[in-house]
Amino acid sequence: MNRSSIMKWITGALEGFWAIPFIGGTIILSLNWTPLIIMLVLHIITLLLSISEGKTKHGSILGIITSCVGFIPGVGWTMHTITAILLLIDAYRSEKAIEM
């Protein structure tokens, strides 16, 4: 498994966690939106790894956008959900491509 796939699994799982209704939002609000900044950094790292390894980068780009608009109620939840699904599918496909 390559580094970009590992980071996609991690960021996808974290995005999925933030998408849990009430729990993710409550934690993000209680920590004063710090998790969104951390996720922004993680998505940028994942994007740079994907670029250097020649892997797809659309999940990381959407993650960066999600981190920037995640503070908007409703929109944030929707974006976290979509980004989590996209990143996890992308990580799975990258892993399958390596096995073949």
pLDDT digits (tens, 9 = 90+) for 62-77: 999 999 998 888 899 9
- Do residues 30 and 61 lie in contact, with contact meaning Cβ atoms separated by under 8 Å? no
Q: How far is CA 33 from CA 54, 58, 67, 69, in A?
A: 32, 24, 10, 11
pLDDT tens, position by position, for the chain (100 residues)? 799 999 999 999 999 999 998 899 899 999 999 999 999 999 999 999 999 999 999 999 999 999 999 888 889 999 999 999 999 999 998 877 766 5
Q: Model's pTM, two decimal places?
A: 0.92
